[in-house]
């Protein structure tokens, strides 16, 4: 079954790799723990190995199952204090639960034409000419001019520089505040914000990501005065009001993100301006227990207030959420259930059915479809997911759908017309987000923050508290 192996090595032959297993076997045994119960492996005792019920990719001795389940890495971890199930999911109306829709390619000519007419009519009042706010920041100039940069690195840096420039333009850079990066990935955007704020006091960063991701920049953050903490959690369940530091210090939050994918944008907006703000308002209404202060404590507080008043860029009143700067992407991954702009769609006599179609049609803006069916047949369709951390620039072809076949569109639309329809769908979905923020008391805008040659997903959503709101503006 297996060729002679060095002493102590597992004797099992891995057929797939055409070689013996390189794992070490326990003293006195022929096979490693993983292959002791495999087909063809004759272990010297009668102990049976079974797949782990938590993760069948590995096995465990049957008589040690109970002990293994207590320490298995696949076991459910205790929920953090800031986890509240579906807190940012929004209200679900069972009467509006979207049903499974037929593919766009299955629509007849009349149905497709009717859908496009609805889209064009709904888009009549939407601002389709966005301002160009392609900016930069001096803190990235050295990195941008590095001759060792490849194309991918240069594109990432240009986007990060422009986002940072827009954050500065909104006067959101300064001491005594907390930045929450949603969909943080490597955390490079927070890294550059931290670099731009070098020397600023009392600056905190929370990097929100569903997966356990850490990169070399995380090690650099520990050496600086800024406090960095990763929150491994889905945004849908994130309750910022339960984070002890935010409760104690009451720092204003600034939500940032680079290519925050589809539904994650809606969850992040609700997490900031709905859930967190409501919790802050509730705490402010609760009566505090007063205690008599000593003369020394009163004198210390007076001195502290006087010193704080001398600092620049520190407002008299902190708004709970001081600003939002998010680069949008992947509208085809949006979800009506969690979408924040439902009221906007309903006002246009649109609902979950139309949203489902517009959401999928939005991929036409960035899918890079070919001019002819012959060219399409030469290209393998790719998946619909977001790009990886190494390649998230949404190159042509990155979001191809099965519905994108030109021959399935009844010859109605050229490639350029399909791209325009995709852009209309994106702007319509984004307009619902803008109006949602405006109703919550924010001055929200959409703008281009980089050139399409750098990223096809080149729209930035920004929001700051309105001057007319009850909260003092953050300036």
Per-residue pLDDT of the chain (475 residues; tens, 9 = 90+): 545 557 788 888 888 888 888 888 888 788 887 787 665 555 455 678 789 999 988 888 888 899 999 999 888 888 999 999 999 998 766 566 666 777 888 888 888 899 999 999 999 988 888 999 999 999 999 999 999 999 999 999 999 999 999 999 999 999 999 999 999 988 899 999 999 998 888 999 999 998 876 666 766 665 555 588 999 999 999 999 999 999 898 899 999 999 999 999 999 999 999 999 888 888 776 664 444 555 555 565 555 555 544 444 444 456 899 999 999 999 999 999 999 999 999 999 999 999 999 999 999 998 754 443 333 333 333 333 353 434 444 444 444 444 545 445 556 788 889 999 999 999 999 999 999 999 999 999 999 999 999 999 999 999 999 975 444 434 3
Q: Which neighbouring-strand residues pair with 228?
A: 205
CATH of domain 105-282+318-368+412-465: 3.40.50.150
Backbone angles phi, psi at 21, to 5 degrees: -65, 140
Enter the tokens of residue 366. 């960035």
State the pLDDT at residue 289.
45
Strands 442-448 and 131-132: parallel
d(CA 107, CA 273): 39
Please report, for residues 236, 284, 307, the alpha-carbon distance to residue 293 in angstroms, rounded to integers and kept in the order given: 42, 21, 20
For the chain, the straight-line distance linking the first and the last C-alpha, in angstroms and rounded, comes to: 74
State the pLDDT at residue 76.
84
State the pLDDT at residue 327.
97
Q: Which neighbouring-strand residues pair with 447?
A: 131, 460
d(CA 98, CA 111): 18
Residue (of 268, 234, 236, 266) closest to 355 by Cα position: 266
Are 13 and 2 spatial neighbours (Cβ–Cβ below 8 Å)?
yes
Please report, for residues 128, 273, 342, 350, 357, the alpha-carbon distance to residue 347 in angstroms, rounded to integers and kept in the order given: 19, 22, 9, 7, 18
State the pLDDT at residue 59.
84
The model carries a pTM of: 0.77
Cα angle, residue 467 at apex, residues 463 and 471 outer, rounded to 5°: 90
Length of the chain: 475
């Amino acid at each position: 079954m297996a060729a002679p192996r060095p002493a102590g090595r597992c004797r099992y032959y891995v057929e797939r790799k055409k070689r013996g297993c390189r794992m070490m076997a326990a003293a006195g045994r022929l096979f490693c723990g993983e292959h002791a119960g495999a087909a063809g492996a004759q272990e010297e005792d009668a102990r049976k190995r079974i797949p782990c019920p938590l993760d069948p990719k590995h096995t465990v001795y049957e008589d040690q199952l109970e002990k293994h389940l207590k320490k298995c890495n696949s076991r459910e971890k205790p929920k953090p204090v800031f986890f509240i199930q579906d807190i940012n999911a929004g209200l679900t109306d069972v009467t509006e639960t979207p049903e499974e829709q037929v593919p766009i390619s299955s629509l007849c000519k009349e149905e497709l034409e009717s859908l496009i007419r609805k889209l064009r009519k709904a888009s009549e009042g939407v601002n389709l000419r966005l301002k160009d706010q392609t900016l930069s920041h001096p803190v990235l100039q050295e990195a941008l001019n590095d001759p060792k940069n490849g194309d991918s690195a240069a594109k990432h840096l240009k986007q990060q520089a422009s986002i940072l420039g827009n954050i500065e333009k909104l006067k959101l850079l300064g001491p005594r505040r907390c930045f929450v990066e949603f969909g943080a990935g490597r955390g490079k955007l927070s890294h550059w914000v931290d670099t731009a704020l070098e020397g600023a006091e009392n600056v905190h960063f929370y990097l929100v990501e569903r997966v356990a991701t850490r990169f070399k920049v995380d090690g650099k953050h520990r050496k600086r005065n800024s406090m960095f903490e990763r929150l491994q959690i889905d945004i849908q369940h994130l309750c910022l009001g339960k984070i002890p530091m935010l409760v104690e210090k009451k720092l204003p939050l600034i939500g940032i993100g680079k290519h925050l994918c589809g539904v994650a944008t809606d969850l992040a907006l609700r997490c900031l301006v709905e859930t967190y703000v409501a919790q802050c308002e509730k705490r402010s209404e609760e009566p505090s227990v007063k205690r008599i202060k000593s003369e020394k404590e009163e004198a210390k507080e007076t001195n502290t207030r006087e010193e704080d008043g001398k600092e620049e860029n520190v407002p008299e009143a902190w708004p709970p959420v001081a600003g939002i700067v998010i680069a949008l992407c992947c509208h085809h991954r949006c979800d009506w259930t969690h979408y924040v702009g439902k009221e906007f769609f309903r006002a246009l006599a649109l609902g979950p059915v139309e949203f489902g179609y517009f959401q999928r049609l939005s991929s036409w803006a960035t899918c890079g479809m070919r001019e002819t069916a012959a060219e399409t047949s030469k290209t393998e369709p790719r998946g619909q997911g977001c790009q990886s951390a190494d390649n998230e620039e949404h190159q042509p072809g990155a979001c191809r759908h099965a519905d994108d076949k030109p021959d399935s569109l009844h010859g109605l639309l050229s490639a350029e017309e399909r791209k325009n329809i995709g852009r209309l769908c994106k702007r319509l979905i984004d307009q619902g987000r803008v109006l949602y923020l405006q109703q919550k008391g924010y001055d929200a805008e959409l703008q281009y923050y980089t050139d399409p040659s750098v990223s096809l997903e080149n729209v930035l959503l920004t929001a700051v508290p309105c001057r007319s709101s009850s909260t003092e503006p953050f300036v």
